[in-house]
C-alpha cells in the first residue's frame, strides 16, 4: 500500500526525536513554502526545546545530525532559531513515485470499506425544466459521488425528484380548468387511462408557472389545487394516472440534461415514493408523543437550549393532511436507513435550505430513525450574474440549465477557433471537443473554491485556456497524452522517474500529494480542494515541460525518467479530472 510522503517523513522524524528523548508529538514536517530552500520543514525543535532544557538550536542541531545519517534525505540543514530543513533524496522520490504509479488504488485510502453512502442531489421538480439553481447540486453531487466511490464507499445516488406536494395539484387543477373533458377527471370503471400526457413538454413547462401564478392570485384556484393535491395523495386513480404521465414527460427532458452534464443516478426516486410510508410514520410519531398538535397542525419540536438562532418546529402535516416538504424528507430517510443500510446520507442542496435540513435531521434523531447514520447537509452558494446577484436571463427570468450549458459550449467553440485548437479536426469532432470543453469549463468553475460561497457565471472567462479553468487542465491532459503517444511511436522506453532538475522534483512532489488531496476533498466534502490541487499540478507540469525537454532530452536515461514523470502526471491528472466529473477530449 502506498504511503504518503509526509507520513514517511514523520515516521523518520519520530525515530530521531525519540532517540534524543524529545517528545514525538513534535516530530512533524510540513511542505516548505520556499522550495528553493527545502522540500519539507520541521518546526518541532522550538517546542521540544521547552521540555528538554536545551536551546531550540541545540535540539535542532542534534536532531539534524541524526537525520543526516538517513538515506531518505539529500540535505538536512538548520536555519534561524531551529527550523530543520529537509531536502528529500532523489531515490526516495523515485521509489515513492514508482509505488504510486503501480498502486491499483493510486494511494487512495479505502475509507468506506464498502459501507453505503446515499447521496441525494439534483432534486429537479416535475414540470419545471432544470434551471441554473440545479447546476451546482448536479455538478457537486456527481463529483462527490465519484470521490466517495474512489474512497471505498458504496455510493447510491438518488435524484429525489420533487414530484409530490402542492405543485402537482396546481398542475392537475390547471389542466382541469383548461379542459374539463380530459379522461383522467372522469370515473372510469375499467381503471384504464391513456399513457400519453395531455400536453407537450413545452406546454407543460409553460403551464406550470401560469398555474402557480393563478393560485397565488386567486384563493379559489389555490383551494382547488389543494383539493387536488390531497386527492392525489389519497390515491385518486385518475389523478395518479395523469400525474404519472406528467412526471414521465418532464423526467425524460431532465434525463437529457443529466446526460449532457455527465451525471449518473442509481435511483430516480422522488418525494412521491415516501407516500406509502408517510401515514404510518405520522401515526407512529403521534403515538410516541414525538409529534404534537399545534394550531391544528402536527409539529415536531426540535429547538435546543444551546441554539443561537431559533430553530422552529418541523411542520409534519397540516389540517388537510397533505404531505409537506419536511414530511417527505423525513419519510424518505427511513428506507435509506433500513433497506439501503446507509452509514451516511449526504444532501447536496442550496445553502438556503440549511434550516430545513437542521429541522429534518433533528427530528429524525429525536424519532430514533437513524441512530447510526450520519446525516450531512452539503450546502452551496448561489450562481450569480456579473452583477453579483443570483443569475437571471437577460429578460430577468430564471435561466434554463440547457441554455447556460449551450452558451458555454458556444463560447468554447469560439475560443477554439481563435486559438487554433482543434484546427485539424473534422467539423463533427470539433463540435464534440467544444462540448467537452464547454461543459468542463462550467464544471471546473462550479467546483472551484469553497462550495458554500457563490460565484459569478462568466462563460467567457470559464472557457479560457489560461489560468484556473477547466480547458487549461483538459489541455494539460491532452498534451501529456500526446507526448506519451509520440514516445510509444518512437519505441522510447519508460524508466523510473529520477528527479534531477528542481522542476522535476516539484512535479514528483506534486504528484505524490495526490492521495492527501483526495482525502482532504472527501473529508471536507469539498471537490474544490481537488480542483485546486489539479490546477497546481498542471502548473507544475507546465514549468517542468518548459525547462526539462522530454523526448528531446540528450540521454536515454533522462528520456525514460522524464517519460515516467509524464506518465505519472498524466495518470494523476486524469484521475483528478475524472473525480471532478470533467471529461478530457482525446485531441484538441
Which residues of this protein are in contact with ligand ARG, per CB under 6 A?
120, 123, 125, 160, 162, 329, 347, 349
Q: Return the residue matching grid coordinates 477547466.
A: 470
The distance of closest approach from Cβ of residue 120 to ligand ARG in the complex, given in angstroms and rounded to an integer, is 5
* Nearest distance, CB of residue 398 and ligand ARG, angstroms: 12
For ligand ARG, the closer of residues 160 and 575 by Cβ is 160
Least distance (Å) from ligand ARG to the CB of residue 156? 14
Q: What is the per-residue DSSP string for 530-580? A: HHHHHHHHHHHHHHHHHHS-STT-SSHHHHHHHHHHHHHHHHHHHHHHHHH
CB of 317 to ligand ARG, least distance (A): 17
Provide the β-strand partners of residue 118: 156, 345
The single residue listed with the C-alpha cell 536532531 is: 63
* Residue whose C-alpha cell is 420533487: 162
| Cβ-based nearer residue to ligand ARG, 352 or 523 | 352
Q: Which residues, 6 or more positions from 243, have their beta carbon under 8 angstroms from its beta carbon? A: 163, 168, 172, 232, 272
Closest CB to ligand ARG among 83 and 347?
A: 347
383-384/455-456 β-pairing: parallel
Instruction: Rank residues 377 and 430 by Cβ distance to ligand ARG and give the closer one.
Output: 377
Q: Which is nearer to ligand ARG, 93 or 349 (CB)?
A: 349
Smallest distance from ligand ARG to CB 122, Å: 8
Grid-cell match 383551494, residue found: 223
Task: Return the number of the residue (157 or 564) whose C-beta is nearest ligand ARG.
Answer: 157
- Nearer to ligand ARG among residue 17 and residue 347 (C-beta): 347
Closest distance to ligand ARG from the beta carbon of 370 (Å): 14
- Residue whose Cβ sits closest to ligand ARG: 123
What would the grid cell of residue 228 be? 387536488
Residue 267 C-beta: closest distance to ligand ARG, Å: 12
- Give the span between the Cα atoms of 461 and 81, in whole angstroms: 46
- How many beta carbons lie within 10 A of that of residue 579, not counting itself? 26
Question: How far apart are the C-alpha atoms of 210 and 216, rounded to whole Å?
Answer: 10
Q: Which residues of 161-193 are buried (b: 16+ CB within 10 A; e: fewer)?
A: bbbbbbbbbbbbbbbbeeeeebebbeeeeeeeb
What's CA 355's distance to the chain center, in Å?
21
Least separation, in Å, of the C-beta of 298 and ligand ARG? 19
Q: Which is nearer to ligand ARG, 123 or 197 (CB)?
A: 123
Amino acid at each position: 500500500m502506498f504511503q504518503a510522503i509526509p507520513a514517511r517523513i514523520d515516521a523518520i522524524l519520530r525515530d530521531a526525536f525519540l532517540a534524543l528523548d524529545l517528545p514525538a508529538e513534535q516530530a512533524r514536517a510540513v511542505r516548505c513554502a520556499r522550495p528553493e530552500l527545502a522540500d519539507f520543514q520541521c518546526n518541532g525543535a522550538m517546542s521540544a526545546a521547552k521540555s528538554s532544557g536545551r536551546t531550540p538550536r541545540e535540539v535542532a542541531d542534534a536532531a539534524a545530525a541524526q537525520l543526516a545519517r538517513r538515506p531518505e534525505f539529500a540535505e538536512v540543514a538548520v536555519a534561524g532559531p531551529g527550523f530543520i530543513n529537509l531536502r528529500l533524496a532523489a531515490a526516495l522520490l523515485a521509489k515513492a513515485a514508482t509505488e504510486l504509479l503501480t498502486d491499483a488504488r493510486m494511494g487512495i485510502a479505502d475509507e468506506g470499506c464498502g459501507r453505503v453512502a446515499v447521496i441525494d442531489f439534483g432534486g429537479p421538480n416535475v414540470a419545471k425544466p432544470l434551471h441554473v439553481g440545479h447546476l451546482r447540486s448536479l455538478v457537486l453531487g456527481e463529483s462527490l459521488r465519484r470521490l466517495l466511490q474512489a474512497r471505498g464507499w458504496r455510493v447510491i445516488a438518488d435524484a429525489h425528484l420533487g414530484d409530490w406536494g402542492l405543485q402537482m395539484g396546481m398542475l392537475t387543477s390547471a389542466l382541469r380548468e383548461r379542459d374539463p373533458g380530459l379522461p383522467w377527471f372522469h370515473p372510469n370503471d375499467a381503471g384504464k387511462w391513456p399513457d400519453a400526457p395531455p400536453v407537450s413538454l413545452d406546454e407543460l413547462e409553460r403551464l406550470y408557472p401560469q398555474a402557480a401564478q393563478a393560485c397565488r392570485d386567486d384563493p379559489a384556484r389555490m383551494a382547488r389545487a389543494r383539493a387536488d393535491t390531497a386527492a392525489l395523495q389519497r390515491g385518486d386513480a385518475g389523478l395518479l394516472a395523469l400525474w404519472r404521465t406528467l412526471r414521465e414527460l418532464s423526467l425524460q427532458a431532465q434525463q437529457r440534461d443529466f446526460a449532457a452534464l455527465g451525471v449518473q443516478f442509481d435511483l430516480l426516486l422522488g418525494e412521491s415514493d415516501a407516500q406509502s410510508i408517510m401515514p404510518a410514520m405520522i401515526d407512529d410519531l403521534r403515538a410516541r408523543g414525538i409529534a404534537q398538535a399545534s394550531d391544528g397542525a402536527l409539529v415536531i419540536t426540535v429547538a435546543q437550549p444551546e441554539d443561537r438562532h431559533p430553530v422552529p418546529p418541523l411542520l409534519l402535516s397540516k389540517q388537510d393532511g397533505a404531505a409537506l416538504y419536511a414530511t417527505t424528507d423525513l419519510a424518505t430517510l427511513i428506507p435509506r436507513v433500513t433497506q439501503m443500510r446507509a452509514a451516511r446520507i449526504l444532501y447536496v442542496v442550496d445553502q438556503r435550505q440549511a434550516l430545513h435540513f437542521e429541522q429534518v435531521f433533528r427530528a429524525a434523531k429525536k424519532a430514533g430513525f437513524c441512530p447510526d447514520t450520519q446525516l450531512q447537509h452539503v450546502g452551496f452558494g448561489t450562481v450569480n450574474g456579473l452583477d453579483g446577484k443570483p443569475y437571471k436571463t437577460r429578460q430577468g427570468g430564471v435561466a434554463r440549465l440547457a441554455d447556460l450549458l449551450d452558451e458555454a459550449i458556444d463560447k468554447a467553440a469560439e475560443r477554439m477557433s481563435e486559438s487554433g485548437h482543434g484546427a485539424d479536426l473534422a467539423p463533427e469532432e470539433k463540435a464534440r471537443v467544444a462540448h467537452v470543453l464547454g461543459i468542463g469549463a462550467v464544471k471546473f468553475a462550479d467546483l472551484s473554491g469553497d462550495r458554500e460561497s457563490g460565484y459569478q457565471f462568466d462563460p467567457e472567462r470559464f472557457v479560457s485556456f489560461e489560468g484556473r479553468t477547466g480547458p487549461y487542465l483538459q489541455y494539460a491532459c491532452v498534451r501529456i497524452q500526446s507526448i506519451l503517444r509520440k514516445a510509444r511511436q518512437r519505441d522510447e522506453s519508460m524508466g523510473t522517474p529520477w528527479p534531477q532538475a528542481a522542476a522535476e522534483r516539484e512535479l514528483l512532489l506534486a504528484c505524490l500529494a495526490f492521495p492527501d488531496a483526495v482525502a482532504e476533498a472527501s473529508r471536507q466534502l469539498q471537490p474544490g480542494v481537488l480542483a485546486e490541487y489539479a490546477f497546481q499540478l498542471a502548473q507544475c507540469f507546465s514549468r517542468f515541460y518548459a525547462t526539462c525537454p522530454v523526448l528531446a532530452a540528450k540521454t536515454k536515461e533522462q528520456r525514460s525518467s522524464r517519460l515516467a514523470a509524464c506518465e505519472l502526471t498524466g495518470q494523476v491528472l486524469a484521475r483528478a479530472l475524472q473525480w471532478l466529473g470533467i471529461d478530457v477530449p482525446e485531441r484538441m
